[in-house]
Amino acid sequence: MTAAPDSRDFICQGWQYDPVMRQLRVYAQEKRNTWSAEPLSEVQLADVKRIVWHRWSQQPGRPHHGGDILPQSLSRIVVAFADGRELTLDENDRECAEKLANLLATESRVQLETAGAPSAGPSTLPQRDAQGRYRSLVGKTETALDMAMREIDVNAHRFPLRRSRQRIPFSEVRHLALEYSVKLPFEEYALVAAYGPEEQRLPVIVYRGWEGWADAEEWRRFAQELASELGVQLTSARLPEG
Judgement on whether residues 231 and 139 belong to the same structural domain of the protein: yes
Specify the number of domains making up the chain.
Answer: 2
Residue 65's pLDDT is what?
37
Which class for 122: exposed (0-12), middle (13-18), buried (19 or more C-beta within 10 A)? exposed
Domain that holds residue 194: 134-236
Complete DSSP assignment for 180-212: EEEETTEEEEEEEEEETTTTEEEEEEEEEEETT
End-to-end CA, the chain: 46
61 secondary structure, DSSP code: B
What phi and psi values does residue 31 have, to the nearest 5 degrees? -140, 180
Judgement on whether residues 142 and 108 belong to the same structural domain of the protein: no
Judgement on whether residues 101 and 153 belong to the same structural domain of the protein: no
Give pLDDT tens digits for 179-218: 998 876 678 899 999 999 999 999 999 988 777 778 888 8
Judgement on whether residues 100 and 170 belong to the same structural domain of the protein: no
d(CA 174, CA 116): 32
Give pLDDT tens digits for 131-186: 889 988 877 888 999 988 999 999 987 666 667 889 999 999 999 999 998 876 67
Distances from the Cα of 69 to the Cα of 66, 137, 152, 173, 179, angstroms:
8, 33, 44, 47, 33
Judgement on whether residues 140 and 107 belong to the same structural domain of the protein: no
Q: Are strands 233-236 and 173-183 parallel, antiparallel or unpaired?
A: parallel
Judgement on whether residues 175 and 229 belong to the same structural domain of the protein: yes
Give the mean pLDDT of the chain: 84
CATH number for 25: 2.30.29
Residue 241's pLDDT is what?
57
Q: With respect to residue 87, please indicate whether it lies within any of the assigned structural domains.
A: yes
Q: With respect to residue 85, please indicate whether it lies within any of the assigned structural domains.
A: yes
* Percent of the chain scoring above 70 in pLDDT: 85
* Nearest one of 86, 68, 66 to 78, comparing CA atoms: 86
Residue 129's pLDDT is what?
84
The answer, yes or no, to whether residue 17 has pLDDT greater than 90, is yes
Q: Say whether pTM exceeds 0.85.
A: no
What phi and psi values does residue 7 have, to the nearest 5 degrees? -60, -20
Q: With respect to residue 123, please indicate whether it lies within any of the assigned structural domains.
A: no
What phi and psi values does residue 35 have, to the nearest 5 degrees? -125, 160
Q: With respect to residue 188, please indicate whether it lies within any of the assigned structural domains.
A: yes
Judgement on whether residues 147 and 110 belong to the same structural domain of the protein: no
Judgement on whether residues 69 and 167 belong to the same structural domain of the protein: no
Judgement on whether residues 38 and 74 belong to the same structural domain of the protein: yes
